[in-house]
Amino acid sequence: MRLKCVIVDDEPLAISVIEQYIAQTSFLEMIAGYTNAVRAFEYLSENETDLLFIDIQMPDMSGLELIRGLKNPPALIFTTAFDQYALEGFRVDAIDYLLKPIDYPEFLRAVTKARDLIALLKGKAANIKTSKDFLFIKSEYKIIRIEFNDIRYIQGMSEYVKIILTHGKPVMSLLSLKSLESQLPTEKFMRVHKSYIVNLQKITVIERMEIVNDDGTIIPVSPQYKARFQEYLDNNFLL
């Protein structure tokens, strides 16, 4: 799969650098480059694009304004000389954020992440099959068996979930957190936040309604799920 790429940056040199990196990368294809954000917006509104490299601070229209104006924005990688914009970039679901001057290893890391995510989202919706001790889940055109005891926690990320395991890479699947929650055994797993399901057996510390997992990850318990989690604590621990 070759990703169709568009670059938007008011600096021609910045476009030239990314264009060279795209040419070096076998799974990328350069489609268009724009120094004018308004023209880029017109093109992106009418044409299918897989991956967009876009500067944030530009005259006439900022990168953030351009993205927010698109009905169906492509996968995004922001490029900028100002690191204070990182948070704003991630608020519009950017896959990554590259700080200028950009070197090729950082570029390759970001586009590899983008390729993997796009492949996942372009696949068919995942199916789940569960048993007493494990589940089968579709991920990247494969069906993977995952033991419940190997799951540390599950994170919901927009249109997909990331299953964090005790060993090996996380497993991503095109699936909602709600649909996965309905398939998990309630004696082992609990939704504690709009973005997190935890394996109750992996909790080591609870402090001020924050869960510390056995790998040190801190997961918040949101007010919406606090009463249910407190009930679990009352029934299982001497307090």
Give the pLDDT confidence of 209-237 residue by residue, as tens digits. Answer: 899 888 888 999 999 899 999 888 888 76
How far from each other are the two terminal CA atoms of the chain, in whole angstroms?
55
Pairing of strands 75-80, 51-55: parallel
Cβ within 8 Å of residue 145, ≥6 positions away:
134, 135, 136
Residue 95 pLDDT: 84
Mean predicted confidence (pLDDT) in 186-207: 92
Please report which helix (H) or strand (E) contains residue 113, including its range. helix 104-122
Residue 51 pLDDT: 95
Question: Which two structure tokens, joined as six digits, stand for 195?
Answer: 């973005």
Residue positions counted in the chain? 239
pLDDT digits (tens, 9 = 90+) for 31-48: 999 999 999 999 999 998
pLDDT at 14 over 50: yes
pLDDT digits (tens, 9 = 90+) for 158-183: 678 999 999 888 998 888 888 888 88
59 CB-contact burial (10 Å; exposed 0-12 / middle 13-18 / buried 19+): exposed
Q: 85 and 107 in contact (C-beta within 8 Å)? A: no
Helices (DSSP H) in the chain: which residue ranges?
Answer: 12-24, 37-46, 63-69, 86-91, 104-122, 177-181, 223-236
- Residue 11 CA: distances (Å) to CA of 36, 40, 108, 119: 10, 14, 21, 30
Residue 151 pLDDT: 95
| β-bridge partners, 55 | 79
Mean predicted confidence (pLDDT) in 196-202: 93
Please report which helix (H) or strand (E) contains residue 157, including its range. strand 151-157
Pairing of strands 142-147, 134-139: antiparallel
Residue 125 pLDDT: 44
What is the rounded distance in angstroms from the CA atom of residue 76 to the CA atom of residue 89? 9
Q: 134 and 165 in contact (C-beta within 8 Å)? A: no
Higher-pLDDT residue of 143 and 84 is 143
Closest by CA position to 126, among listed 161, 174, 158:
174
| Percentage of residues in the chain having pLDDT higher than 90 | 43
What is the rounded distance in angstroms from the CA atom of residue 183 to the CA atom of residue 131? 9
Lowest pLDDT segment from 81-85, 136-140, 149-153, 194-198:
81-85
pLDDT at 59 over 60: yes
